[in-house]
C-alpha cells in the first residue's frame, strides 16, 4: 500500500502541470491534483510530529486552507458545488466530477487518522478518471463505470471498517486524543482533522472555566441516564462492554469525564467520526463525532450522490458485505450497549437550496434505498439486539447561540436536572386521565391548522395496564413527556406547524394529512412550486417512503424549557430533544418501541405499557421486512399554537388536559407556574 501511495502521489504531482487533457477539464484535474498534493504534504508533516510542535496560528491557517474551497464565500466557484461543476464541465460530466472531487476531499480526515488504504484508493480513482480524459472522445458511461466499480469493489473494506468502528474500542483514534491531550491547550482540537471555527474553540475554553464538580455533575446526568435506561427496561447492563459516545467537538472535557464514569460501569468507549465515504453516508446527516460543518449546502448537495451507483446488484452486494462484516465482529456487537449522544443547539438555522444539478434518486432508486435500509436494519438488529440495548441523549447550547450563551447554558443545565419525582407525579395525573379515553383530540389555534384525532389502544385490565409511558429524565433528557404508540385505524386529521426544524432542515408551513394513521398528503411552503415542496418532504421527512404511519403521540410537560425558549427567543434553535417536551408532539415512522415490542415495559406505578405495537409494527410476526421503516421524526406543536388537548371518553363526554396553551387537568396546575412567571416578567 505504501508503494501504491507513493506511485500515485508522484503521478498526481505530474498532473498538476500537464496539458494532456483539454480544457475545461484540465482546470478541474489540475486544481484537484493540487489539493491532493497539499493534503499528502500535511500527511508527511503529521508523520514527523508537526501537530505537537505547530503553533495555534499555524494550525488555524492550515485548517482553514484545507476547507476553504467549500466554505460559503468560495462555494460558488468550487467544483464541490454541482451547479458550478455542471456550468464549467457540462451536463454529462458535472455530476460525476463533482462526486469525484467530494470523495477526494475525504482524504483530509484519513490523513489525520493515518488511513493509507483510504487515501490511496481515492488517489487511484482520480488518476484512473484522469486517464480516461486523456482521450478527447471520453464517454461519460466510462467515467460512471469507474465510479461504480470503485464504490462496489471497495465496499467490503469501507463498509466493513464502518461496522468495526461502531463496536470495536481498539479503534481509539478519537478516544486517545480526548483522554491523553492537555485539554487546557486547545491546539488539541486540530488533531481530529475536522473543520474548526471560533465556536469549537470558544466552547472548549468555556468548559475549561467550569469547576471540576460542575463537569462531573453534567457528565453524571448523562451517564446515569444511560444506566437508568437499562434499569427501567429490565435490561442487564453488566452483559455490555462498550458504549458509543457521539458529540460535537468542543465538549471534550465533559466527554473525558463521561468516559471515566462509563468505565466505572464496565463500559469502554467506542467513538467514531461521522461517515466520510459516500458508500457509508446517510444523506446529509452526521452520525458520530464531528467538528464545525464547513458548508451545510455542500453536504445537502451531495446527500444523494449514491444515485450514481445505486442499483439492484449494488444493494445486494452491500447487504452481503454488511452481513459478513457483522459476522466478523459478532462478539463485539453482542456486547455493545448502544449510543450515548450529546447534541448541541444554537447554530444558525439552515434552509437548503434544492439544485437541479445535484444527484437525485430516481423513483426506482428510492424504492431500492428503502429496501436496503429495511434489510440493513434487520441485519444490525440481529447482531446488536434491540431488546438488549439502550441509549441516552442530552443537549447543550454552543457559543454561536449569541451573547447570552452563559445564561442559556446555565438554564439548560437546570432543565436537564429538573426534579424527576415531581414530574413523575404530575405526569401520572395526565396518564390516568388519558387512560379513560378512547381518543384524544388535538386542535391548533391562530395560524396553526392542526385538527387531529388520535385513537388509543383498548385497556383490557385498566388496573394493571396503561397506554402511556411516564417519561422522566433517563434515556431521554430532559424530563417531561408522556407518550404512546397509537392505534392507526381511526387516527385521522391534519397536523400543521407554522415553522419547524427537523433533522437540521427548516420546514415552513408543514402540513401532514392522516387517514387511518398513515400520511396521505403532505405540503410545505419552502419553495415556490408544490412539486418541489413535495419532493423535499418525501426525501427528507418520509425518506423516500410513499407514506409513513403515526408512530408516536406524546404530550410534553416541560414548561420550564418552553419559558427558556421564549425568554431568549431561541425556540427555532432548540433540538427536537428539548422541543418535543414543549407541547404535544407526533412522530412519523417507527413506534417508540421499535425492535423491542415484545419486551415488557412498566411505569413507576407498576402498570404495564401495552401500547407498544401498531398495525405496521405487528407485521413483524409475518414479515419483518414490512414492519420497520428505519425512521422516527418528532414534530412538536408549541403551547402558544395550541387551542386544546381533550380526552374523548369511552362513555361519552370530554376531559380537558390543555386549554388555550395552559394545563387545566387537576394535578397539573404546577406546570403553569413557569408560564405565569414568564407573563409577569414581560
CB 591 within 8 A of CB 485: yes
Same structural domain for residues 177 and 234?
Answer: yes
Residue 138 lies in domain: 2-147
Angle at which helix 25-47 crosses helix 116-133, to 10 degrees, equals 160
43-51 mean pLDDT: 97
388-410 mean pLDDT: 94
Same structural domain for residues 352 and 217?
Answer: yes
Same structural domain for residues 628 and 677?
Answer: yes
Same structural domain for residues 126 and 176?
Answer: no
Query: In this structure, what are the phi and psi dihedrals at residue 285, rounded to the nearest 5 degrees?
Result: -75, 145
Domain end call among 89, 113, 147: 147
Q: What is the pLDDT of residue 187?
A: 98
Same structural domain for residues 276 and 340?
Answer: yes
Give the pLDDT confidence of 510-544 residue by residue, as tens digits: 999 999 999 999 999 999 999 999 999 999 999 99
Q: What is the pLDDT of residue 679?
A: 57
Give the pLDDT confidence of 493-517 residue by residue, as tens digits: 999 999 888 887 889 999 999 999 9
Q: What is the pLDDT of residue 127?
A: 98
Please provide the distance, in angstroms rounded to a whole number, between the alpha carbons at the two ends of the chain: 66
Q: Of 228-232, 372-376, 549-553, which gets the smallest average pLDDT?
A: 228-232
Same structural domain for residues 495 and 579?
Answer: yes
Cα-Cα-Cα-Cα dihedral sign, residues 661, 665, 669, 671: negative
Give the pLDDT confidence of 183-222 residue by residue, as tens digits: 999 999 999 999 999 999 999 999 999 999 999 999 999 9
Q: How far is CA 267 from each of CA 187, 224, 239, 247, 260, rounded to the nearest angstrom? A: 28, 13, 10, 17, 9
Give the β-pairing of 336-345 and 654-659: unpaired
User: Is the residue at 159 inside a domain?
Assistant: no
User: Is the residue at 7 inside a domain?
Assistant: yes
User: Is the residue at 573 inside a domain?
Assistant: yes
**How many domains does the chain contain in total?**
3
| Residue of 470, 484, 473 lying closest to 427 (CA atoms) | 470
Angle at which helix 559-568 crosses helix 405-416, to 10 degrees, equals 170
366-382 mean pLDDT: 94
Q: What pTM does this model have?
A: 0.92
User: Is the residue at 156 inside a domain?
Assistant: no
User: Is the residue at 675 inside a domain?
Assistant: yes
pLDDT class of 681 with cuts at 50, 70, 90: low
User: Is the residue at 347 inside a domain?
Assistant: yes
CA distance 594 to 596: 5
Domain end call among 376, 392, 408: 392
358-381 mean pLDDT: 94
Give the β-pairing of 662-663 and 654-659: antiparallel
User: Is the residue at 412 inside a domain?
Assistant: no
Q: In the chain, what percentage of residues exceed pLDDT 90?
A: 89
| Residue of 84, 35, 125 lying closest to 358 (CA atoms) | 84
pLDDT class of 122 with cuts at 50, 70, 90: very high
Give the pLDDT confidence of 95-110 residue by residue, as tens digits: 999 999 999 999 999 9
Q: Is the pLDDT of residue 682 over 80?
A: no
Same structural domain for residues 383 and 429?
Answer: no
Same structural domain for residues 273 and 142?
Answer: no
CA distance 153 to 472: 47
Give the pLDDT confidence of 245-258 residue by residue, as tens digits: 999 999 999 999 99
Same structural domain for residues 567 and 532?
Answer: yes
Q: Is the pLDDT of residue 319 over 70?
A: yes
Same structural domain for residues 225 and 321?
Answer: yes
| Residue of 577, 238, 235, 533 lying closest to 396 (CA atoms) | 577
Same structural domain for residues 136 and 195?
Answer: no
- Average pLDDT of the residues of the chain: 95
User: Is the residue at 64 inside a domain?
Assistant: yes
572-581 mean pLDDT: 89
CA angle, 158 as apex, 324 and 152 as ends, to 5°?
85
Q: What is the pLDDT of residue 486?
A: 97
Give the pLDDT confidence of 128-181 residue by residue, as tens digits: 999 999 999 999 999 999 999 999 999 999 999 999 999 999 999 999 999 999
402-421 mean pLDDT: 93
Give the pLDDT confidence of 460-474 residue by residue, as tens digits: 999 999 999 998 867
Please state the separation of Cα 35 from the chain's center in Å.
Answer: 29
Same structural domain for residues 669 and 547?
Answer: yes
pLDDT class of 577 with cuts at 50, 70, 90: confident
Which grid coordinates belong to 276?
Answer: 466520510
Q: What is the pLDDT of residue 442?
A: 98
pLDDT class of 344 with cuts at 50, 70, 90: very high
Amino acid at each position: 500500500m505504501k508503494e501504491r501511495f507513493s506511485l500515485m502521489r508522484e503521478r498526481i504531482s505530474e498532473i498538476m502541470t500537464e496539458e494532456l487533457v483539454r480544457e475545461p477539464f484540465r482546470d478541474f484535474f489540475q486544481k484537484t491534483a493540487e489539493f491532493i498534493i497539499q493534503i499528502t504534504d500535511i500527511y508527511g508533516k503529521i508523520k514527523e510530529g508537526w501537530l505537537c510542535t505547530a503553533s495555534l496560528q499555524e494550525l488555524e491557517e492550515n485548517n482553514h486552507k484545507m476547507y476553504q474551497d467549500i466554505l460559503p464565500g468560495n462555494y460558488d466557484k468550487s467544483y464541490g458545488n454541482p451547479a458550478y461543476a455542471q456550468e464549467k464541465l457540462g451536463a454529462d460530466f458535472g455530476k460525476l466530477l463533482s462526486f469525484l472531487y467530494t470523495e477526494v476531499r475525504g482524504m483530509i480526515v484519513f490523513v489525520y487518522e493515518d488511513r493509507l488504504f483510504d487515501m490511496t484508493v481515492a488517489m487511484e480513482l482520480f488518476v484512473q478518471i484522469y486517464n480516461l480524459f486523456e482521450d478527447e472522445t471520453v464517454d461519460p458511461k466510462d467515467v460512471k463505470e469507474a465510479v461504480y466499480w470503485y464504490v462496489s469493489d471497495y465496499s467490503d473494506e469501507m463498509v466493513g471498517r464502518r461496522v468495526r468502528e461502531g463496536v470495536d474500542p481498539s479503534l481509539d483514534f478519537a478516544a486517545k486524543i480526548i483522554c491523553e491531550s492537555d485539554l487546557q491547550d486547545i491546539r488539541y482540537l486540530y488533531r481530529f482533522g475536522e473543520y474548526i471555527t471560533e465556536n469549537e474553540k470558544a466552547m472548549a475554553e468555556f468548559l475549561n472555566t467550569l469547576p471540576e464538580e460542575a463537569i462531573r455533575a453534567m457528565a453524571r446526568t448523562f451517564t446515569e441516564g444511560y444506566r437508568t435506561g437499562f434499569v427501567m427496561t429490565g435490561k442487564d447492563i453488566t452483559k455490555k462492554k462498550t458504549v458509543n459516545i457521539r458529540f460535537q467537538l468542543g465538549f471534550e472535557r465533559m466527554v473525558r469525564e463521561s468516559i471515566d464514569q462509563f468505565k466505572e460501569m464496565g463500559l469502554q468507549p467506542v467513538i467514531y467520526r461521522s461517515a466520510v465515504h459516500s458508500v457509508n453516508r446517510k444523506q446529509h446527516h452526521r452520525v458520530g463525532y464531528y467538528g464545525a460543518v464547513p458548508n451545510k449546502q455542500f453536504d445537502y448537495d451531495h446527500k444523494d450522490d449514491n444515485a450514481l451507483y445505486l442499483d439492484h446488484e449494488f444493494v445486494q452486494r452491500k447487504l452481503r458485505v454488511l452481513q459478513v462484516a457483522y459476522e466478523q465482529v459478532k462478539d463485539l456487537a453482542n456486547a455493545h450497549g448502544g449510543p450515548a449522544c450529546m447534541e448541541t443547539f444554537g447554530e444558525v438555522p439552515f434552509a437548503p437550496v434544492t439544485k437541479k444539478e445535484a444527484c437525485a434518486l430516481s423513483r426506482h432508486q428510492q424504492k431500492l434505498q428503502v429496501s436496503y435500509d429495511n434489510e440493513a436494519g434487520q441485519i444490525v438488529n440481529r447482531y446488536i439486539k434491540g431488546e438488549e440495548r439502550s441509549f441516552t441523549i442530552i443537549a447543550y447550547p454552543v457559543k454561536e447561540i449569541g451573547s447570552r450563551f452563559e445564561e442559556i447554558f446555565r438554564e439548560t443545565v437546570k432543565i436537564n436536572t429538573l426534579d424527576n419525582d415531581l414530574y413523575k407525579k404530575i405526569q401520572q395525573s395526565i396518564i390516568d386521565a388519558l387512560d379513560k379515553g378512547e381518543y384524544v383530540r388535538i386542535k391548533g389555534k391562530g395560524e396553526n391548522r392542526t385538527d387531529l384525532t388520535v385513537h388509543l389502544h383498548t385497556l383490557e385490565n385498566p388496573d394493571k395496564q396503561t397506554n402511556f409511558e411516564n417519561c422522566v429524565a433517563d434515556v431521554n433528557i430532559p424530563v417531561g413527556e408522556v407518550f404512546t404508540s397509537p392505534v392507526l385505524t381511526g387516527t385521522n386529521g391534519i397536523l400543521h406547524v407554522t415553522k419547524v426544524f427537523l433533522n437540521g432542515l427548516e420546514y415552513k408551513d408543514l402540513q401532514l394529512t392522516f387517514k387511518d394513521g398513515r400520511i396521505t398528503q403532505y405540503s410545505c411552503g419552502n419553495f415556490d412550486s408544490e412539486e418541489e415542496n413535495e419532493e423535499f418532504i418525501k426525501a427528507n421527512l418520509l425518506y423516500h417512503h410513499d407514506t409513513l404511519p403515526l408512530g408516536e403521540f406524546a404530550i410534553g410537560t416541560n414548561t420550564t424549557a418552553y419559558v427558556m425558549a421564549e425568554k431568549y427567543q431561541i425556540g427555532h434553535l432548540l433540538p427536537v430533544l428539548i422541543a418535543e417536551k414543549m407541547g404535544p408532539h407526533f412522530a412519523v415512522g417507527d413506534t417508540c418501541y421499535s425492535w423491542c415490542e415484545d419486551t415488557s415495559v412498566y411505569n413507576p406505578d407498576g402498570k404495564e405499557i401495552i401500547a407498544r405495537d401498531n398495525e405496521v409494527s405487528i407485521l413483524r410476526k409475518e414479515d419483518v421486512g414490512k414492519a420497520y421503516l428505519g425512521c422516527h421524526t418528532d414534530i412538536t406543536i408549541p403551547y402558544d399554537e395550541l387551542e386544546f388537548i381533550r380526552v374523548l371518553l369511552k362513555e361519552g363526554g370530554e376531559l380537558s388536559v390543555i386549554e388555550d396553551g395552559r394545563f387545566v387537568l387537576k394535578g397539573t396546575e404546577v406546570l403553569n407556574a413557569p408560564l405565569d412567571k414568564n407573563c409577569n416578567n414581560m
